[in-house]
A and B are shown apart, each in its own frame.
Chain A
Amino acid sequence: MYETAITLERVTKRYAGHTAVRSLDLTIPRGGIFGLLGPNGAGKSTTIRMIMNMLVADEGRITLFGGEPASRDLSARIGYLPEERGLYKKMQVLEQLIFLGETKGLPRRRARELSGQWLARLGLSDWAARRVEDLSKGMQQKVQFIGALLHEPELVVLDEPFSGLDPVNSQVMKDVVVEMARQGRTVLFSTHIMEQAEKMCDRVAIIARGEKLVDGRLADVKRADGDRHVALAFHRNREAAARVLGDRSLVARTDDYGASAEVTLAPQASGDALLEALLGAGVGISRFELVEPSLQSIFIAKVGADAATAPALEESRA
Protein backbone atom coordinates (compact mmCIF):
# COMPACT_ATOMS: atom_id res chain seq x y z
CA MET A 1 0.00 0.00 0.00
CA TYR A 2 1.27 3.46 -0.91
CA GLU A 3 1.81 6.22 1.62
CA THR A 4 1.27 9.36 -0.41
CA ALA A 5 -1.83 9.76 -2.53
CA ILE A 6 -0.64 12.80 -4.48
CA THR A 7 2.79 14.33 -4.92
CA LEU A 8 3.52 17.55 -6.76
CA GLU A 9 7.16 18.41 -7.37
CA ARG A 10 8.06 21.91 -8.49
CA VAL A 11 5.01 22.13 -10.70
CA THR A 12 4.60 25.21 -12.84
CA LYS A 13 1.77 26.12 -15.21
CA ARG A 14 1.84 29.22 -17.37
CA TYR A 15 -0.91 30.73 -19.44
CA ALA A 16 -0.44 33.22 -22.21
CA GLY A 17 -0.29 36.27 -19.94
CA HIS A 18 0.70 35.01 -16.52
CA THR A 19 1.87 32.15 -14.35
CA ALA A 20 -1.05 30.37 -12.68
CA VAL A 21 0.98 27.97 -10.57
CA ARG A 22 4.61 28.61 -9.67
CA SER A 23 6.98 25.82 -8.64
CA LEU A 24 4.46 24.18 -6.33
CA ASP A 25 5.48 21.32 -4.04
CA LEU A 26 2.71 19.41 -2.33
CA THR A 27 2.48 16.04 -0.62
CA ILE A 28 -0.91 14.64 0.20
CA PRO A 29 -0.77 11.48 2.30
CA ARG A 30 -3.16 8.61 1.88
CA GLY A 31 -6.35 8.79 3.93
CA GLY A 32 -7.87 11.82 5.58
CA ILE A 33 -9.12 15.13 4.32
CA PHE A 34 -6.78 17.61 2.71
CA GLY A 35 -7.91 21.19 2.22
CA LEU A 36 -6.47 23.25 -0.61
CA LEU A 37 -7.17 26.79 0.47
CA GLY A 38 -6.69 30.04 -1.31
CA PRO A 39 -8.43 33.16 -2.50
CA ASN A 40 -10.16 33.30 -5.87
CA GLY A 41 -7.60 33.11 -8.63
CA ALA A 42 -4.93 31.52 -6.45
CA GLY A 43 -4.43 28.59 -8.84
CA LYS A 44 -6.52 26.00 -6.97
CA SER A 45 -8.54 24.86 -9.98
CA THR A 46 -5.49 24.85 -12.21
CA THR A 47 -3.67 22.67 -9.68
CA ILE A 48 -6.62 20.30 -9.45
CA ARG A 49 -6.93 20.07 -13.21
CA MET A 50 -3.27 19.19 -13.46
CA ILE A 51 -3.73 16.48 -10.84
CA MET A 52 -6.62 15.20 -12.98
CA ASN A 53 -4.25 15.30 -15.98
CA MET A 54 -6.66 17.55 -17.78
CA LEU A 55 -4.03 20.20 -18.02
CA VAL A 56 -0.40 19.34 -18.56
CA ALA A 57 2.13 21.07 -16.31
CA ASP A 58 4.77 23.11 -18.11
CA GLU A 59 7.38 22.07 -15.57
CA GLY A 60 7.62 19.64 -12.68
CA ARG A 61 6.16 16.25 -11.95
CA ILE A 62 2.86 14.98 -10.59
CA THR A 63 2.47 11.45 -9.31
CA LEU A 64 -0.49 9.66 -7.77
CA PHE A 65 -0.96 6.63 -5.56
CA GLY A 66 2.64 6.42 -4.47
CA GLY A 67 4.50 7.16 -7.67
CA GLU A 68 2.35 6.57 -10.72
CA PRO A 69 2.50 9.44 -13.21
CA ALA A 70 -0.82 11.29 -13.43
CA SER A 71 -2.79 9.90 -16.34
CA ARG A 72 -6.30 9.20 -17.39
CA ASP A 73 -5.68 5.50 -16.93
CA LEU A 74 -6.04 6.14 -13.21
CA SER A 75 -9.43 7.79 -13.62
CA ALA A 76 -11.33 4.75 -12.38
CA ARG A 77 -9.66 5.19 -8.99
CA ILE A 78 -10.47 8.89 -8.76
CA GLY A 79 -13.75 10.67 -8.21
CA TYR A 80 -13.84 14.23 -9.50
CA LEU A 81 -16.27 17.07 -8.91
CA PRO A 82 -15.21 20.04 -11.05
CA GLU A 83 -15.82 23.58 -9.95
CA GLU A 84 -18.07 24.15 -12.95
CA ARG A 85 -20.98 21.83 -12.33
CA GLY A 86 -22.52 20.20 -15.33
CA LEU A 87 -24.99 17.47 -16.14
CA TYR A 88 -26.98 16.52 -19.22
CA LYS A 89 -30.07 18.64 -18.63
CA LYS A 90 -32.49 16.51 -20.62
CA MET A 91 -31.45 13.20 -19.12
CA GLN A 92 -33.24 11.42 -16.32
CA VAL A 93 -31.44 11.50 -12.99
CA LEU A 94 -31.00 7.75 -12.69
CA GLU A 95 -29.94 7.31 -16.33
CA GLN A 96 -27.47 10.09 -15.86
CA LEU A 97 -25.90 8.47 -12.81
CA ILE A 98 -25.71 5.09 -14.51
CA PHE A 99 -23.96 6.72 -17.44
CA LEU A 100 -21.49 8.52 -15.19
CA GLY A 101 -20.79 5.23 -13.41
CA GLU A 102 -20.21 3.48 -16.71
CA THR A 103 -17.70 6.09 -17.81
CA LYS A 104 -15.76 5.15 -14.70
CA GLY A 105 -15.79 1.52 -15.73
CA LEU A 106 -18.66 0.24 -13.60
CA PRO A 107 -20.80 -2.48 -15.16
CA ARG A 108 -24.26 -1.17 -15.99
CA ARG A 109 -26.10 -3.30 -13.50
CA ARG A 110 -23.78 -2.40 -10.65
CA ALA A 111 -24.02 1.28 -11.56
CA ARG A 112 -27.81 1.08 -11.40
CA GLU A 113 -27.69 -0.63 -8.02
CA LEU A 114 -25.29 1.88 -6.47
CA SER A 115 -27.14 4.86 -7.96
CA GLY A 116 -30.35 3.67 -6.32
CA GLN A 117 -28.64 3.36 -2.95
CA TRP A 118 -27.06 6.78 -3.15
CA LEU A 119 -30.25 8.49 -4.29
CA ALA A 120 -32.03 6.96 -1.32
CA ARG A 121 -29.28 8.04 1.05
CA LEU A 122 -29.35 11.66 -0.12
CA GLY A 123 -33.13 11.74 -0.20
CA LEU A 124 -33.51 11.94 -3.96
CA SER A 125 -35.28 8.64 -4.65
CA ASP A 126 -38.47 10.38 -5.71
CA TRP A 127 -36.55 12.29 -8.33
CA ALA A 128 -34.84 9.33 -10.00
CA ALA A 129 -37.10 9.35 -13.05
CA ARG A 130 -37.21 13.12 -13.41
CA ARG A 131 -35.16 15.09 -15.85
CA VAL A 132 -32.16 16.88 -14.43
CA GLU A 133 -33.49 20.24 -15.58
CA ASP A 134 -36.54 19.78 -13.31
CA LEU A 135 -34.32 19.66 -10.22
CA SER A 136 -33.29 22.60 -8.07
CA LYS A 137 -29.70 23.70 -8.22
CA GLY A 138 -28.87 22.15 -4.87
CA MET A 139 -30.39 18.84 -5.92
CA GLN A 140 -28.43 18.91 -9.16
CA GLN A 141 -25.29 19.45 -7.17
CA LYS A 142 -26.08 16.44 -5.02
CA VAL A 143 -26.66 14.35 -8.15
CA GLN A 144 -23.29 15.35 -9.49
CA PHE A 145 -21.72 14.67 -6.12
CA ILE A 146 -23.12 11.14 -6.28
CA GLY A 147 -21.78 10.82 -9.81
CA ALA A 148 -18.28 11.56 -8.55
CA LEU A 149 -18.45 8.97 -5.76
CA LEU A 150 -20.49 6.23 -7.39
CA HIS A 151 -17.56 4.02 -8.34
CA GLU A 152 -16.17 4.08 -4.79
CA PRO A 153 -12.90 5.80 -5.69
CA GLU A 154 -9.91 5.68 -3.38
CA LEU A 155 -9.14 9.32 -4.12
CA VAL A 156 -11.83 12.00 -4.24
CA VAL A 157 -11.05 15.42 -5.66
CA LEU A 158 -13.70 18.05 -4.99
CA ASP A 159 -13.34 21.57 -6.35
CA GLU A 160 -15.38 23.93 -4.15
CA PRO A 161 -17.86 21.21 -3.17
CA PHE A 162 -19.92 23.31 -0.79
CA SER A 163 -20.34 26.50 -2.74
CA GLY A 164 -23.95 27.33 -3.43
CA LEU A 165 -25.41 24.79 -1.00
CA ASP A 166 -27.83 25.59 1.79
CA PRO A 167 -26.77 24.60 5.35
CA VAL A 168 -28.84 21.41 5.35
CA ASN A 169 -27.44 20.06 2.10
CA SER A 170 -24.01 21.28 3.05
CA GLN A 171 -24.26 19.20 6.23
CA VAL A 172 -25.36 16.09 4.31
CA MET A 173 -22.42 16.32 1.93
CA LYS A 174 -20.01 17.06 4.75
CA ASP A 175 -21.12 13.86 6.49
CA VAL A 176 -20.48 11.86 3.33
CA VAL A 177 -17.01 13.34 2.91
CA VAL A 178 -16.09 12.65 6.53
CA GLU A 179 -17.31 9.09 6.27
CA MET A 180 -15.21 8.49 3.18
CA ALA A 181 -12.12 9.72 4.96
CA ARG A 182 -12.94 7.42 7.86
CA GLN A 183 -13.03 4.49 5.41
CA GLY A 184 -9.42 5.21 4.55
CA ARG A 185 -10.02 7.10 1.30
CA THR A 186 -8.21 10.29 0.50
CA VAL A 187 -10.23 13.46 0.03
CA LEU A 188 -8.75 16.56 -1.54
CA PHE A 189 -11.02 19.54 -1.62
CA SER A 190 -10.52 23.15 -2.42
CA THR A 191 -12.38 25.98 -0.79
CA HIS A 192 -12.14 29.58 0.21
CA ILE A 193 -14.59 29.11 3.08
CA MET A 194 -12.31 28.74 6.08
CA GLU A 195 -14.88 27.70 8.71
CA GLN A 196 -15.67 24.60 6.68
CA ALA A 197 -12.02 23.72 6.17
CA GLU A 198 -11.23 24.28 9.83
CA LYS A 199 -13.87 21.79 10.95
CA MET A 200 -13.12 19.08 8.41
CA CYS A 201 -9.49 19.05 7.34
CA ASP A 202 -6.67 17.00 8.78
CA ARG A 203 -4.21 18.87 6.64
CA VAL A 204 -4.29 22.12 4.75
CA ALA A 205 -2.24 24.01 2.24
CA ILE A 206 -2.79 27.68 1.57
CA ILE A 207 -1.81 28.97 -1.83
CA ALA A 208 -2.05 32.46 -3.27
CA ARG A 209 -0.97 33.80 -6.64
CA GLY A 210 0.17 30.33 -7.62
CA GLU A 211 2.55 29.91 -4.69
CA LYS A 212 2.31 27.88 -1.53
CA LEU A 213 2.27 29.89 1.70
CA VAL A 214 1.47 27.28 4.35
CA ASP A 215 1.34 23.51 4.29
CA GLY A 216 0.95 20.90 7.01
CA ARG A 217 -1.29 19.33 9.60
CA LEU A 218 -4.00 21.73 10.66
CA ALA A 219 -2.95 21.48 14.32
CA ASP A 220 0.68 22.24 13.44
CA VAL A 221 -0.25 25.14 11.26
CA LYS A 222 -2.19 26.63 14.11
CA ARG A 223 0.51 25.98 16.70
CA ALA A 224 3.20 27.52 14.53
CA ASP A 225 1.26 30.71 14.83
CA GLY A 226 0.22 30.14 18.47
CA ASP A 227 0.46 32.37 21.56
CA ARG A 228 0.29 35.42 19.40
CA HIS A 229 -3.50 35.57 19.34
CA VAL A 230 -5.93 36.92 21.86
CA ALA A 231 -9.67 36.54 21.92
CA LEU A 232 -11.35 39.56 23.48
CA ALA A 233 -14.83 40.60 24.52
CA PHE A 234 -15.83 43.98 26.00
CA HIS A 235 -18.84 45.18 27.91
CA ARG A 236 -17.83 48.83 28.52
CA ASN A 237 -15.97 51.71 26.92
CA ARG A 238 -15.51 50.17 23.48
CA GLU A 239 -14.22 53.47 22.02
CA ALA A 240 -11.21 53.34 24.34
CA ALA A 241 -10.66 49.70 23.37
CA ALA A 242 -10.59 50.68 19.69
CA ARG A 243 -7.88 53.26 20.45
CA VAL A 244 -5.70 50.69 22.24
CA LEU A 245 -6.17 48.07 19.51
CA GLY A 246 -5.13 50.71 16.95
CA ASP A 247 -1.68 50.94 18.58
CA ARG A 248 0.66 49.25 16.08
CA SER A 249 3.37 48.63 18.69
CA LEU A 250 0.97 46.34 20.54
CA VAL A 251 -1.36 44.93 17.92
CA ALA A 252 -0.49 43.81 14.40
CA ARG A 253 -4.00 43.03 13.22
CA THR A 254 -7.54 43.03 14.54
CA ASP A 255 -10.55 41.09 13.40
CA ASP A 256 -13.30 43.20 14.89
CA TYR A 257 -16.61 41.41 15.27
CA GLY A 258 -18.27 44.24 17.19
CA ALA A 259 -18.84 42.87 20.70
CA SER A 260 -15.80 40.62 20.38
CA ALA A 261 -12.53 40.69 18.49
CA GLU A 262 -9.65 38.47 17.57
CA VAL A 263 -6.32 40.17 17.84
CA THR A 264 -2.87 39.28 16.52
CA LEU A 265 -0.11 40.68 18.72
CA ALA A 266 2.65 42.82 17.26
CA PRO A 267 6.05 41.02 17.07
CA GLN A 268 7.58 42.58 20.21
CA ALA A 269 4.41 42.88 22.26
CA SER A 270 3.19 40.41 24.88
CA GLY A 271 -0.27 39.54 26.08
CA ASP A 272 0.45 41.10 29.45
CA ALA A 273 1.28 44.46 27.90
CA LEU A 274 -1.96 44.46 25.94
CA LEU A 275 -4.03 43.58 29.03
CA GLU A 276 -2.40 46.37 31.00
CA ALA A 277 -3.01 48.88 28.27
CA LEU A 278 -6.68 47.91 28.04
CA LEU A 279 -7.23 48.09 31.80
CA GLY A 280 -5.36 51.38 31.94
CA ALA A 281 -7.69 52.84 29.33
CA GLY A 282 -10.70 51.84 31.44
CA VAL A 283 -12.10 49.22 29.10
CA GLY A 284 -14.55 46.77 30.68
CA ILE A 285 -13.23 43.33 29.73
CA SER A 286 -15.47 40.26 29.86
CA ARG A 287 -13.01 37.94 28.07
CA PHE A 288 -9.27 37.92 27.62
CA GLU A 289 -7.77 34.65 26.42
CA LEU A 290 -4.63 33.56 24.62
CA VAL A 291 -5.92 31.28 21.85
CA GLU A 292 -4.91 29.29 18.83
CA PRO A 293 -5.65 31.38 15.81
CA SER A 294 -8.64 30.54 13.64
CA LEU A 295 -7.84 29.35 10.14
CA GLN A 296 -9.58 32.44 8.92
CA SER A 297 -7.14 34.73 10.73
CA ILE A 298 -4.12 32.71 9.60
CA PHE A 299 -5.42 32.80 6.07
CA ILE A 300 -5.96 36.53 6.10
CA ALA A 301 -2.64 37.18 7.77
CA LYS A 302 -0.81 35.08 5.18
CA VAL A 303 -2.67 36.03 2.07
CA GLY A 304 -3.38 39.64 2.91
CA ALA A 305 -6.80 41.16 2.97
CA ASP A 306 -6.40 42.61 -0.50
CA ALA A 307 -5.71 39.28 -2.18
CA ALA A 308 -8.67 37.65 -0.46
CA THR A 309 -11.02 39.94 -2.26
CA ALA A 310 -9.13 40.10 -5.55
CA PRO A 311 -11.28 39.40 -8.60
CA ALA A 312 -11.36 35.87 -9.93
CA LEU A 313 -9.52 36.69 -13.09
CA GLU A 314 -7.38 33.60 -13.31
CA GLU A 315 -9.90 30.92 -12.56
CA SER A 316 -12.38 32.12 -15.09
CA ARG A 317 -9.68 31.78 -17.71
CA ALA A 318 -8.23 28.53 -16.57
Chain B
Amino acid sequence: MSNVSERIELLEHGVDMSDALRTIGTPAVAETGESASEVVFDLRQLSVFYGDFRAVRDGTLEIRDHEITAFIGPSGCGKTTMLRCINRMNDFIPTARVEGQVLYHGVDLYDPAVNSTEVRRRIGMVFQKPNPFPKSIYDNVAYGPRLLGVKKRSQLDEVVERSLKGAALWDEVKDRLKESGLGLSGGQQQRLCIARAIAVEPDVILMDEPCSALDPIATGRIEELMAEMKDDYTIVIVTHNMQQAARVSDRTAFFTTEVNPESDRRTGILVEYDRTDKMFSNPTDQRTEDYVTGRFG
Protein backbone atom coordinates (compact mmCIF):
# COMPACT_ATOMS: atom_id res chain seq x y z
CA MET B 1 0.00 0.00 0.00
CA SER B 2 2.98 2.30 0.30
CA ASN B 3 2.71 2.85 -3.42
CA VAL B 4 -0.82 4.20 -2.99
CA SER B 5 0.08 6.52 -0.14
CA GLU B 6 3.08 7.78 -2.10
CA ARG B 7 0.78 8.57 -4.91
CA ILE B 8 -1.75 10.26 -2.62
CA GLU B 9 1.09 12.34 -1.19
CA LEU B 10 2.19 13.39 -4.63
CA LEU B 11 -1.38 14.31 -5.48
CA GLU B 12 -1.55 16.43 -2.35
CA HIS B 13 1.75 18.23 -2.56
CA GLY B 14 3.13 18.00 -6.02
CA VAL B 15 2.87 21.34 -7.77
CA ASP B 16 6.21 20.93 -9.39
CA MET B 17 6.31 21.95 -13.01
CA SER B 18 9.17 19.60 -13.61
CA ASP B 19 6.89 16.75 -14.64
CA ALA B 20 7.47 14.78 -11.49
CA LEU B 21 4.07 13.24 -11.64
CA ARG B 22 3.99 12.71 -15.36
CA THR B 23 6.60 10.00 -15.05
CA ILE B 24 4.03 7.89 -13.22
CA GLY B 25 1.85 8.06 -16.27
CA THR B 26 4.50 7.11 -18.78
CA PRO B 27 3.33 3.89 -20.36
CA ALA B 28 5.27 1.07 -21.72
CA VAL B 29 4.09 1.80 -25.20
CA ALA B 30 3.88 -1.46 -26.97
CA GLU B 31 3.82 -1.77 -30.71
CA THR B 32 1.35 -4.58 -30.54
CA GLY B 33 -1.46 -5.63 -28.26
CA GLU B 34 -3.63 -3.57 -26.02
CA SER B 35 -2.51 -5.02 -22.73
CA ALA B 36 0.78 -3.16 -22.80
CA SER B 37 -0.92 0.23 -22.53
CA GLU B 38 -1.23 1.26 -18.91
CA VAL B 39 -4.63 1.84 -17.36
CA VAL B 40 -5.04 5.47 -16.34
CA PHE B 41 -8.60 5.40 -15.02
CA ASP B 42 -10.41 2.45 -13.58
CA LEU B 43 -14.08 3.27 -13.05
CA ARG B 44 -15.78 0.73 -10.84
CA GLN B 45 -19.55 0.59 -10.36
CA LEU B 46 -19.71 4.34 -10.60
CA SER B 47 -23.12 5.86 -9.87
CA VAL B 48 -23.97 9.54 -9.61
CA PHE B 49 -26.96 10.84 -7.66
CA TYR B 50 -28.44 14.33 -7.76
CA GLY B 51 -30.26 14.28 -4.44
CA ASP B 52 -32.32 11.12 -4.56
CA PHE B 53 -32.30 10.81 -8.30
CA ARG B 54 -29.75 8.40 -9.74
CA ALA B 55 -28.57 10.00 -12.95
CA VAL B 56 -26.24 7.25 -14.06
CA ARG B 57 -25.51 3.86 -12.61
CA ASP B 58 -22.84 1.23 -12.39
CA GLY B 59 -20.38 2.61 -14.89
CA THR B 60 -17.43 0.24 -15.10
CA LEU B 61 -14.66 0.77 -17.61
CA GLU B 62 -10.93 1.31 -17.97
CA ILE B 63 -9.37 4.22 -19.78
CA ARG B 64 -5.95 3.62 -21.22
CA ASP B 65 -2.94 5.82 -21.49
CA HIS B 66 -2.25 7.81 -24.65
CA GLU B 67 -5.56 6.80 -26.16
CA ILE B 68 -8.62 8.77 -27.10
CA THR B 69 -11.70 7.32 -25.43
CA ALA B 70 -15.12 8.53 -26.56
CA PHE B 71 -18.36 8.50 -24.59
CA ILE B 72 -21.34 8.47 -26.93
CA GLY B 73 -25.06 8.11 -26.48
CA PRO B 74 -28.37 9.96 -26.67
CA SER B 75 -29.16 13.05 -24.58
CA GLY B 76 -29.55 12.53 -20.88
CA CYS B 77 -27.67 9.24 -20.77
CA GLY B 78 -25.16 10.50 -18.24
CA LYS B 79 -22.05 10.69 -20.41
CA THR B 80 -21.20 14.26 -19.33
CA THR B 81 -22.00 13.36 -15.73
CA MET B 82 -19.56 10.45 -15.95
CA LEU B 83 -16.91 12.65 -17.50
CA ARG B 84 -17.20 15.23 -14.77
CA CYS B 85 -16.69 12.56 -12.12
CA ILE B 86 -13.27 11.84 -13.52
CA ASN B 87 -11.89 15.21 -12.47
CA ARG B 88 -14.22 15.84 -9.57
CA MET B 89 -16.02 18.69 -11.28
CA ASN B 90 -19.28 17.34 -9.84
CA ASP B 91 -18.02 18.56 -6.46
CA PHE B 92 -19.35 21.99 -7.43
CA ILE B 93 -22.91 20.74 -7.69
CA PRO B 94 -24.13 20.72 -4.08
CA THR B 95 -26.70 17.94 -4.53
CA ALA B 96 -24.37 15.62 -6.44
CA ARG B 97 -23.19 12.44 -4.76
CA VAL B 98 -20.98 9.68 -6.08
CA GLU B 99 -20.96 5.97 -5.28
CA GLY B 100 -18.39 3.56 -6.56
CA GLN B 101 -14.78 4.28 -7.34
CA VAL B 102 -12.71 6.28 -9.74
CA LEU B 103 -9.16 4.96 -9.58
CA TYR B 104 -6.53 7.19 -11.14
CA HIS B 105 -3.26 5.29 -11.46
CA GLY B 106 -4.61 3.17 -8.63
CA VAL B 107 -5.59 6.05 -6.33
CA ASP B 108 -9.26 6.49 -5.48
CA LEU B 109 -9.98 10.09 -6.43
CA TYR B 110 -12.85 10.30 -3.97
CA ASP B 111 -10.69 9.32 -1.02
CA PRO B 112 -11.00 12.10 1.59
CA ALA B 113 -7.24 12.54 1.66
CA VAL B 114 -7.15 13.57 -1.97
CA ASN B 115 -6.86 17.29 -2.82
CA SER B 116 -9.41 17.94 -5.56
CA THR B 117 -7.68 21.09 -6.84
CA GLU B 118 -4.53 19.07 -7.48
CA VAL B 119 -6.65 16.46 -9.24
CA ARG B 120 -8.01 19.10 -11.59
CA ARG B 121 -4.53 20.40 -12.28
CA ARG B 122 -3.53 17.02 -13.57
CA ILE B 123 -6.84 16.21 -15.25
CA GLY B 124 -7.80 19.26 -17.23
CA MET B 125 -11.09 20.00 -18.91
CA VAL B 126 -12.28 21.72 -22.07
CA PHE B 127 -15.94 22.65 -22.29
CA GLN B 128 -18.69 22.68 -24.88
CA LYS B 129 -18.94 26.43 -25.16
CA PRO B 130 -15.47 27.96 -25.51
CA ASN B 131 -14.81 29.96 -22.36
CA PRO B 132 -11.58 31.96 -22.56
CA PHE B 133 -10.98 34.35 -19.71
CA PRO B 134 -11.74 38.01 -20.49
CA LYS B 135 -8.01 38.64 -20.63
CA SER B 136 -5.38 38.80 -23.36
CA ILE B 137 -4.42 35.65 -25.26
CA TYR B 138 -1.09 35.65 -23.46
CA ASP B 139 -2.66 36.02 -20.03
CA ASN B 140 -5.18 33.29 -20.77
CA VAL B 141 -2.46 30.76 -21.35
CA ALA B 142 -0.12 32.14 -18.68
CA TYR B 143 -2.80 32.10 -15.97
CA GLY B 144 -2.33 28.48 -14.96
CA PRO B 145 1.50 28.58 -14.81
CA ARG B 146 1.36 31.83 -12.86
CA LEU B 147 -0.91 30.19 -10.28
CA LEU B 148 1.66 27.44 -9.97
CA GLY B 149 4.42 29.92 -9.22
CA VAL B 150 6.08 30.56 -12.56
CA LYS B 151 6.96 34.24 -12.43
CA LYS B 152 9.88 34.94 -14.69
CA ARG B 153 8.86 36.54 -17.93
CA SER B 154 11.16 34.38 -20.03
CA GLN B 155 9.75 31.19 -18.56
CA LEU B 156 6.19 32.35 -19.07
CA ASP B 157 6.94 33.35 -22.67
CA GLU B 158 8.28 29.88 -23.28
CA VAL B 159 5.28 28.13 -21.73
CA VAL B 160 2.86 30.32 -23.67
CA GLU B 161 4.58 29.64 -26.97
CA ARG B 162 4.87 25.93 -26.32
CA SER B 163 1.21 25.63 -25.32
CA LEU B 164 -0.09 27.68 -28.24
CA LYS B 165 1.99 25.57 -30.61
CA GLY B 166 0.65 22.45 -28.95
CA ALA B 167 -2.86 23.70 -29.64
CA ALA B 168 -2.05 24.59 -33.25
CA LEU B 169 -2.83 28.24 -32.59
CA TRP B 170 0.62 29.85 -32.39
CA ASP B 171 0.97 30.87 -36.02
CA GLU B 172 -2.38 32.59 -36.03
CA VAL B 173 -1.91 34.63 -32.87
CA LYS B 174 1.81 35.06 -32.36
CA ASP B 175 1.65 38.69 -33.47
CA ARG B 176 -1.29 39.59 -31.31
CA LEU B 177 -0.75 37.94 -27.98
CA LYS B 178 -1.81 41.09 -26.16
CA GLU B 179 -5.21 41.18 -27.77
CA SER B 180 -8.22 39.88 -25.91
CA GLY B 181 -9.00 36.20 -26.15
CA LEU B 182 -12.63 37.11 -26.74
CA GLY B 183 -11.76 38.63 -30.08
CA LEU B 184 -10.93 35.25 -31.63
CA SER B 185 -13.31 33.16 -33.69
CA GLY B 186 -15.14 30.25 -32.06
CA GLY B 187 -12.71 27.62 -33.29
CA GLN B 188 -9.73 29.74 -32.27
CA GLN B 189 -11.23 30.33 -28.85
CA GLN B 190 -11.62 26.63 -28.33
CA ARG B 191 -8.00 26.03 -29.32
CA LEU B 192 -7.06 28.79 -26.89
CA CYS B 193 -8.92 26.90 -24.18
CA ILE B 194 -6.98 23.77 -25.13
CA ALA B 195 -3.71 25.72 -25.00
CA ARG B 196 -4.70 27.06 -21.60
CA ALA B 197 -5.37 23.53 -20.39
CA ILE B 198 -2.08 22.11 -21.64
CA ALA B 199 -0.08 25.01 -20.20
CA VAL B 200 -0.25 23.41 -16.75
CA GLU B 201 1.13 20.16 -18.17
CA PRO B 202 -1.71 17.85 -17.29
CA ASP B 203 -1.71 14.10 -17.58
CA VAL B 204 -5.20 13.83 -19.00
CA ILE B 205 -7.50 16.15 -20.90
CA LEU B 206 -11.25 15.72 -20.69
CA MET B 207 -13.34 17.27 -23.43
CA ASP B 208 -17.07 17.78 -23.07
CA GLU B 209 -18.50 18.04 -26.59
CA PRO B 210 -15.70 20.41 -27.59
CA CYS B 211 -16.83 20.85 -31.18
CA SER B 212 -20.58 21.06 -30.84
CA ALA B 213 -20.56 24.86 -30.93
CA LEU B 214 -18.18 25.02 -33.90
CA ASP B 215 -18.51 24.89 -37.68
CA PRO B 216 -17.28 21.81 -39.60
CA ILE B 217 -13.94 23.30 -40.61
CA ALA B 218 -13.08 24.34 -37.07
CA THR B 219 -14.26 20.92 -35.91
CA GLY B 220 -11.92 19.23 -38.38
CA ARG B 221 -8.97 21.23 -37.14
CA ILE B 222 -9.64 20.30 -33.56
CA GLU B 223 -9.97 16.63 -34.51
CA GLU B 224 -6.58 16.83 -36.21
CA LEU B 225 -5.21 18.46 -33.09
CA MET B 226 -6.57 15.68 -30.92
CA ALA B 227 -4.81 13.07 -33.02
CA GLU B 228 -1.51 14.92 -32.50
CA MET B 229 -2.14 15.45 -28.80
CA LYS B 230 -2.61 11.74 -28.20
CA ASP B 231 1.18 11.29 -28.11
CA ASP B 232 1.49 13.48 -25.03
CA TYR B 233 -1.83 13.19 -23.24
CA THR B 234 -4.66 10.81 -22.50
CA ILE B 235 -7.91 12.18 -23.86
CA VAL B 236 -11.51 11.39 -22.98
CA ILE B 237 -14.14 13.02 -25.14
CA VAL B 238 -17.89 13.18 -24.81
CA THR B 239 -19.56 13.64 -28.15
CA HIS B 240 -23.05 13.41 -29.54
CA ASN B 241 -21.55 13.13 -33.01
CA MET B 242 -21.08 9.44 -33.72
CA GLN B 243 -19.02 10.02 -36.80
CA GLN B 244 -16.60 12.10 -34.79
CA ALA B 245 -16.22 9.27 -32.30
CA ALA B 246 -15.58 6.86 -35.15
CA ARG B 247 -13.00 9.21 -36.67
CA VAL B 248 -10.89 10.13 -33.68
CA SER B 249 -11.24 7.61 -30.89
CA ASP B 250 -9.44 4.37 -30.09
CA ARG B 251 -12.11 3.10 -27.74
CA THR B 252 -15.76 4.02 -27.46
CA ALA B 253 -18.22 3.67 -24.60
CA PHE B 254 -21.90 3.68 -25.50
CA PHE B 255 -24.38 4.87 -22.89
CA THR B 256 -28.14 4.92 -23.04
CA THR B 257 -31.05 5.57 -20.69
CA GLU B 258 -33.22 3.06 -18.98
CA VAL B 259 -36.57 3.92 -17.46
CA ASN B 260 -36.99 3.15 -13.80
CA PRO B 261 -40.38 1.42 -13.59
CA GLU B 262 -41.21 2.81 -10.14
CA SER B 263 -40.32 6.44 -10.54
CA ASP B 264 -40.72 6.73 -14.31
CA ARG B 265 -37.43 8.59 -14.49
CA ARG B 266 -34.56 7.73 -16.75
CA THR B 267 -31.21 6.57 -15.46
CA GLY B 268 -28.13 6.39 -17.63
CA ILE B 269 -26.34 3.08 -18.06
CA LEU B 270 -23.23 1.90 -19.82
CA VAL B 271 -24.27 -0.53 -22.51
CA GLU B 272 -21.02 -1.47 -24.20
CA TYR B 273 -17.37 -0.46 -24.21
CA ASP B 274 -14.85 -1.72 -26.70
CA ARG B 275 -12.37 -0.75 -29.38
CA THR B 276 -13.91 1.77 -31.72
CA ASP B 277 -13.55 -0.31 -34.85
CA LYS B 278 -15.44 -3.13 -33.23
CA MET B 279 -18.11 -0.87 -31.76
CA PHE B 280 -18.96 0.56 -35.13
CA SER B 281 -18.64 -2.52 -37.28
CA ASN B 282 -19.60 -5.44 -35.12
CA PRO B 283 -21.05 -4.43 -31.76
CA THR B 284 -22.16 -7.06 -29.32
CA ASP B 285 -25.27 -5.40 -27.92
CA GLN B 286 -28.31 -4.78 -30.11
CA ARG B 287 -28.85 -1.35 -28.57
CA THR B 288 -25.35 -0.33 -29.63
CA GLU B 289 -25.98 -1.48 -33.14
CA ASP B 290 -29.28 0.40 -33.29
CA TYR B 291 -27.59 3.58 -32.17
CA VAL B 292 -24.50 3.49 -34.36
CA THR B 293 -26.46 2.60 -37.45
CA GLY B 294 -28.80 5.48 -36.83
CA ARG B 295 -31.91 3.48 -36.18
CA PHE B 296 -32.45 5.67 -33.20
CA GLY B 297 -30.56 8.68 -32.07
Bound pair (A, B): no
Chain A interface (Cβ < 8 Å from any Cβ of B): none
Chain B interface (Cβ < 8 Å from any Cβ of A): none
